[in-house]
Every structure is written in structure tokens, then in C-alpha cells.
Amino acid sequence: MSVFPAVLAFADGTQFWGKAVGLRGEITGEVVFNTAMTGYQEILTDPSYAGQIVTFTSPHIGNTGTNHADRESHRAWSAGLIVREPPTLPSNFRSEQSFSDWLITENLVGISGVDTRKITHYLREQGSQMACISSLNPNSERAIQLAKQALPMYGRNLTEEVSTQQVYEWHEPSVALSKQVSIHPTSHIVVYDFGVKYSILRQLVDRSCRVTVVPASTPAKQVISMAPDGIVLSNGPGDPYACDNIIAEIRELILSPIPLLGICLGHQLLALALNAQTYKMKSGHHGANHPVKNLSTGRVQVTSQNHNFAVLENTLPVDFDVTHRSLFDGTIQGLRHRKKPIMSVQGHPEASPGPLDASTIFDDFLALLS
């Protein structure tokens, strides 16, 4: 196998040389680090990572190969990836394609053979940074200039890029489902696709819901006319402040009696629709080991997280309570209206990858429907 050099260059001039992995090319994006030890395929196909280059802190990425079942979208959305070592020989009975071959199939450009511990330390100190990965006749000075010219995540509305363009029904349950899904769904849930993960849809089907997915630009009146029992505002990429048109539609949804659940970006958009504020975090939360405390029960859940923005607590309306809080930094992880059937969570209750501690959020939401 031929080995080609590659360079990772940050906008401030910091650079790392290594080996090309995946498709040879040149890409730019915001570099973040993810602390999950498993689930690399789910991470790279999560639309929330659009525009971002993922640094995997686990040293070996690709051990178990790839398969169709572990996708979270129809394609990979991450701008690129940074790994210490991608094993060339996968070992898992579910593997259908090696990780290296899958990266080429998905048109993903990456770099390997670099010190991901040092890169993670750099990102913790400096915060998420714009960078360029070049593995096609790499030149560090050119890569630095491309990193400087790259569009920052702040102020970018990426929902239209990742969202479906047409309404569709979703029927597939979770792979690990141990019980038969009812052929007579009890609730109709409409999901706004701001970059929705398949696992969110699967979790709803697991609970005998009829699931309809609509584009991010769908008017609130159109969704309300579908007479759903509940509405989910999905996860997604980019800066929530840049989604002015979506925020306006969510304001109309809030005025309706239909129960609402916001997840990740949906949580942030819901807060903005309530005239609260969001802010960009230094390095964000990306991983599957984040402890979150349920303030009403006192129980701690280990959760999956993927966000660079958070809700500013002192801007929340008085009729909303903070229901969950991060035990890493105290940031808001959940909200609930005191009277209306409206709730939201910052983490990913569907996990994938990660523990299913927070999956009861879906049960709590469906309890609002009755």
C-alpha cells in the first residue's frame, strides 16, 4: 500500500505532518475533538458534524470496520478526520468494508500518524480552530492560507445543506430492538430535519410512533395542518443564531398546543425562539462520556454530546425551568416549560455512539402527549 504525506495546518500557523488516510485531497473546516472510544462511523455520518474536522482522541480508529447498519445518515457529513492510527485489517463479524476503503467511498479526506494527544491539548487551550488538511502535493504555507480563508462556524446556517428536501415517512426500528414494534402506531410525531440522526427516528419507532420527517424550511402552519400528536426539533450543525427563518417558525409552533421536544440544535433554536440567547463554547462537548444531572430526580446520566453552542442561562424566560445540567462545566442540558408541554435537551438521548442512560427523554416527551 502506498503511503502519501499529509499536513494538518491551523490558521495560526501551527502544523502537524503525517500520512494521508482516506481520499487524497484538500479540505478545510473547524477542528474539534471527540472523546468517544467507539462509534467512529456514527460520528462521521452524523450531520451535526458538517463543516467540522473530527480529531479522534482514541488512538485506534477503524478496528471493527464499517457496515450499513451503523450509519446515522445517507452519507458522511464531517469535513475530514484526524486519527493516530487507522488499523488496516478490521476484526468484527458485522464488518462489510474496511475503514480505509469506506473513507474513500465516502469522499473523506484525513490525516493519520499525528500526535492526537498534542492536538487535543492544543484545542483545549486554544478552543476549536479552523484548519486545512492537505494530502495532494501538500504544502504547509498554502494549507495555512487556506485555513485562514475558511469560513468560521460562527454565523453559518448549515441546516439547509443537511436537511431532507422532501417529506417522508420513517418506519425502521433500532437494530437492537428486543420487542415487536406495533403495526398500529399510537402517536404521530413530526420531526423537523435540521440534520436528524437516524437513531432519533428509530427511537421513536421503537415506541410505536408513526414518524413523519419534514424539511428544515417547512412552515409551521403546514406542520400543524398535519395534526401531529407531537413535534421534534432535531439536532443539526452550525450556528443557531444564523437560522432566523427557522426560529420564526418555531415561535408559531410554541403558540400551538402541540407538545414540542428540542434535541441539541433543536434545543438551542427553541431557546432562541423564546428570546433567550446562545453563545459559542471554547471547545464544545463532543463525546460519549459526559455526566449530566437530572435536577428533579438527582440522578446522574452518562450521555453522548456533540455541540459547540450552549444556551445562556440568565436570558431564559421565567416560565422555563432548567431540568438538566452538565457536571463537567455546569452548562444547561435541559429545559421544560412550567405549564406548556414543551421540553428540550442539549445532549443526544438516542446516543449512537454512547450509553442509553438518557433515552428515557423520549418516554418523558411521549408522556406529554396524553
Q: Cell numbers for 222, please give them.
A: 403546514
Out of 149, 167, 186, a domain closes at 149
Q: pLDDT for 147-159, tens place per residue?
A: 999 999 999 999 9
SS3 letters across 149-167: HCCCCCCCCCHHHHCCCCC
Asked whether residue 144 is domain-assigned, the answer is yes
In terms of domains, do 357 and 212 share one?
Answer: yes
Q: pLDDT for 182-206, tens place per residue?
A: 556 889 999 999 999 999 999 999 9
Q: pLDDT for 253-304, tens place per residue?
A: 999 999 999 999 999 999 999 999 999 999 999 999 999 999 999 999 999 9
Q: How much is the pLDDT for 87?
A: 87
Q: In CATH, what number is assigned to the domain containing residue 278?
A: 3.40.50.880
Task: Give the lowest-confidence range in 6-10, 84-88, 277-281.
Answer: 84-88
Q: Cell numbers for 287, please give them.
A: 463525546
Classify strands 320-326 and 342-345 as parallel, antiparallel or unpaired: unpaired
Neighbours of 343 (CB within 10 A): 23
What are the residue numbers of the active site?
264, 348, 350
Contact 8, 133 (CB under 8 A): yes
Q: pLDDT for 220-266, tens place per residue?
A: 999 999 999 999 999 999 999 999 999 999 999 999 999 999 999 99
Residue-number span of the structural domain to which 82 is assigned: 5-149
What percentage of the chain exceeds 90 in pLDDT? 95
In terms of domains, do 175 and 309 share one?
Answer: yes
Out of 104, 125, 149, a domain closes at 149
Q: How much is the pLDDT for 186?
A: 86
pLDDT at 167 over 70: yes
Out of 127, 149, 171, a domain closes at 149
Please state, in angstroms and rounded to a whole number, the distance separating the CA atoms of residues 167 and 218.
9
In terms of domains, do 136 and 17 share one?
Answer: yes
Q: In CATH, what number is assigned to the domain containing residue 82?
A: 3.50.30.20
How many domains does the chain fold into? 2
pLDDT at 178 over 50: no
pLDDT at 132 over 50: yes
pLDDT at 77 over 60: yes
Q: What is the dihedral of CA 127, 245, 271, 239, to 10 degrees?
A: 0
In terms of domains, do 219 and 362 share one?
Answer: yes
Neighbours of 302 (CB within 10 A): 17
In terms of domains, do 190 and 318 share one?
Answer: yes
What percentage of the chain exceeds 70 in pLDDT? 97
